[in-house]
Chain A
Amino acid sequence: MIDDPELLSAYLDGEVTDAEAMRIETHLSECPDCAQELEGLNWARSAVRSLPLLAPPTDVFDAIPIPSAQGPARGRFLMPVAAAVAAIVVIGGVVSGVVAASDAQEIPIESVATQHAVGSAGQPGVLLVSVPMDGIGQ
């Protein structure tokens, strides 16, 4: 086994120096145990990385009032963000099948109509969980 096994995870994450990477690669070519260990670590890493990004419920945004410096009265809510979320809910109902396919029973958020994310849907590498909405987009 390699003298510092923690280097294997760091190697997977690109968090080693060039010299360390060379030493690890040389060792891996000669040590089946470490090669197997690296494979297992990479599998665990990939399992977590493949978890979908989750959309926050819209009331997370709605419940936070705009600071008084930006609005005339306390209790005024974040309408631009709420409006954006509402718009995406509508759009999301149509495109949810494209954005992400997910079995409804595995959606961890209870409020189906409020699960569409705000601005990350178009970002590379972002997978948003969307829930089939009864009567919408089905």
Chain B
Amino acid sequence: MDEEAADGGIPSWEDVAHRYGPKIYSFAYRLTGNPDDAADLSQEVLLRVRKGLPTYKPGTFEGWLWRITRNAFIDDVRRKKRRPVVPLFDSTPAGASPPPDVVISQERIDPSVQGALLELPVEFREAVVLCDVVGLSYDEIAEATGVALGTVRSRIHRGRKLLRAALEGYQP
């Protein structure tokens, strides 16, 4: 939690960009799988944050921030009406699965995890990324996405089950 936000204060826009920039960009990249789209989305989020800060009422700053971030993503999805593209850096050959006696390095599995994320339905992907990339609690995810706590729990669980199935060849 942001110290200033935890104190109930309003951080400056520069603080938000400084402290949350990597998380916002990572959120955007993990959801879109494309560096250009991630940069555009991050910029849109920061613009919305700057615009909204003057009227922000001290409270749960992260809930406010991630609601803005999530809404920017959903708006982008609706506007483009397209599925996210396969990441450019995925070098894993299609259908390739490692021999069972090979220890899979993180460097090798990362692109596959990213690719599997992009195959998830948007609602599941969003919930999983907010939980496991951004590190929000279920309550914070519910606040950011505007759905019930039970729905958050269900989306995360179903998302992980799909990820596990998609990455079955990599699991020891």
Contacts and interface: CB of A to CB of B under 8 A. Distances in A.
B48 to A, nearest CB: 11
Interface string B14-25: 100111011111
Contacts, number: 137
Contact of B164 (A40, A55, A59, A63): A40
The number of chain B residues touching the other chain, given as a range, is 35 or more
- Which DSSP category, helix, strand, loop or mixed, fits chain B's interface? helix
A6 interface: yes
B55 interface: no
B145 interface: no
Contacts of B114: 51, 108
B18 to A, nearest CB: 5
Nearest to B117: A48
A117 B133 contact: no
B128 A54 contact: no
Interface of A: 5-6, 8-10, 13, 15, 40-41, 43-45, 47-57, 59-61, 63-64, 67, 78, 80-81, 84, 102-103, 105-110, 117-120, 126, 128
18 contacts: A9-B156, A10-B157, A13-B131, A15-B153, A44-B167, A47-B167, A48-B133, A54-B38, A56-B24, A60-B42, A64-B47, A64-B50, A78-B14, A78-B17, A107-B89, A108-B87, A118-B21, A118-B22
Given A6-B154, A53-B22, A64-B43, 4 more contacts: A52-B110, A78-B17, A118-B22, A126-B22
